[in-house]
Amino acid sequence: MNGWNSTDSRLFSWTYDSPEAGSPDRNEALVYFMSQEEAPPPLLRQELKDAIVGLSEAKVFAAGRGEAEVLPTLGFNPYPQIIIAGLGPSGADAQAWREAAAAAVRKALARGIGKLAIMTDSVGKTESDPLTRIRALTEGFMLGSYYRQTYKKTAPSRVLLEQVKYYVTDKAEEAKLQDAIQTGCIYASATNYARDLTNTPGNAFVPETMASEAKRLAEAYGLECAVLDDKQLLEQGMLGLYNVGKGSIHPPRMIVLKYQGLPEWKNVLGLVGKGVTFDTGGISLKKADGMDEMISDMGGGAVLLGVMKAIGEMKPQVNVLAVIPSAENMPSDRALKPGDVISTLSGKTIEVTNTDAEGRIILADGVTYAKQLGAGRIIDVATLTGAVLVSLGDLATGAVSNNDAFMKELLQAAERSGERLWQLPAYPEYKEALKSSVADIKNSTVNRWAGAITGGLFIGEFAEDTPWIHLDTGGTAYLLKERGVDPEGGTGAMVRTLLHYIVH
């Protein structure tokens, strides 16, 4: 019996047949998965097992996480080539399967192989059940096959992933099997979409572009969308966002997407995403080295658009509000200056001591607006600080919260997603560094100690008593080198964690 996934029937399928029953073409490979403690897969001919052992003895392939190799079968298998992918130590979790799938598909595409057949039960010991495993594999194949768009005169020749077929032996219920593949597809597709947005050059993606993309999503998936322009920001008192964006020829926008999956607009989760489409630092100008990476400073907003895309596809029974304050932080004769004191939608005033700490200023208005629109709990996502990179490197997203129970739920969602999330302390003493003698709060501290924490706590002042979590993706939203399921460039970090929290 064969089945096709309803979300992307062009890509994923499954069969209960044996691999020997198929007629693979030259562009197809059969994928096996191995843990480090296990012998080569028993279904293989002895000649191929010996070849795998030889790779291990030559220290070419040790079945570690992220390892994969392609072997020609030389007529010893119906498939012209096989791919072996490592799961690391025995007892592989879902993330190990994601990483193995990503490694396998990258190796396949590099060798010109666009069709894969998967032996999902090719290891004996695993911590994940078959359906969780297939969902993780689906995510891994889609995430690992991601290509960053180029703008070269002659486009590079690339082999794309054409087909993935699962050989399933456990006779899982068809509806559950289809749901596992479909969910994996949607989560990975949302992440890849956020990656595309994050990687878009700053000259092609300005606040108005971000607003247009939100409107396109709303139309495509039946969401409600509202966009406030710079004049409306002034009228409504959103002066934090207005002042950050006023130095650019591309005026700021406040973008709102609303999904109502419950009969009443209550129990609303508010998502607030930083949408700085390019950050020069403003008058407090950044150094030239690495400034090109600031195309990713709208990574928080990109994550929210990815999340809302997935929610629009899945239609869960939840209420979700996405608020994206979007601006371009530029130096000019109109730009915000160090020493300025500005008001915000909340009525609180900010002493601007550093115009390069602009993200927290626009998020202040975003958080207040989310509360006004009915959010009962709030998660903000932002490439907020370089300090989080100093603290956690590019391996984990930092989190600050005013509600430990809320935070615990999100940490559990991150564990399920395979994304790394680390809670930072929010001791009251840290807030002392944000006190101002001329305004309610200042946007940057004198010595920048604990910068990831104080930056988050600045936003928390505007959340007030509303349960709130701040996610600082300053180290994880954009990578300089491919790692695990993530590519070089935009990663879409936290899309899948948020979806695991929202949809379960």
Please state, in angstroms and rounded to a whole number, the distance separating the CA atoms of residues 176 and 160: 28
* 435 included as an active-site residue: no
Is 356 known as a binding-site position?
yes
Encoded tokens for 33: 């998965």
Contact 291, 330 (CB under 8 A): no
* 107 included as an active-site residue: no
Q: How far is the CA of 388 from the CAs of 278, 357, 384, 448, 459, in angstroms?
A: 19, 14, 8, 12, 15
Best CA proximity match to 119, nearest among 31, 24, 225: 31
Q: Print burial letters for 341-379: b (CB count within 10 Å at least 16), e (below 16).
A: ebbbbbebbbbbbbbbbbbbbbbbbbbbbbbeeebebbb
Q: What are phi and psi of 131, to 5 degrees?
A: -70, -40
Is 174 known as a binding-site position?
no
Choosing from 49, 111, 215, 286, which is the catalytic residue? 286
Q: What is the DSSP string of 102-120?
A: HHHHHHHHHTT--EEEEET
Q: How many CA atoms lie within 13 A of 223 on its CB side?
A: 31
Enumerate the β-bridge partners of residue 328: 278
The conformation of residue 432, written as its DSSP 8-state character, comes to G
Say which residue the tokens 């399933």 belong to. Answer: 168
Q: How far is the CA of 77 from the CAs of 23, 49, 83, 85, 162, in angstroms?
A: 11, 12, 12, 17, 21
The conformation of residue 237, written as its DSSP 8-state character, comes to T
The conformation of residue 282, written as its DSSP 8-state character, comes to T
Choosing from 106, 133, 360, 371, which is the catalytic residue? 360
Encoded tokens for 364: 């202040």
Is 297 known as a binding-site position?
yes
* 49 contact partners, CB below 8 Å, separation of at least 6: 39, 40, 41
* Consecutive H or E run containing 99: helix 94-110
Contact 282, 361 (CB under 8 A): no
Strands 2-4 and 12-15: antiparallel
Is 274 known as a binding-site position?
yes
Extract the annotated binding site for Mn(2+): 274, 279, 297, 356, 358
Extract the annotated binding site: 274, 279, 297, 356, 358
What residues are labeled active site?
Answer: 286, 360
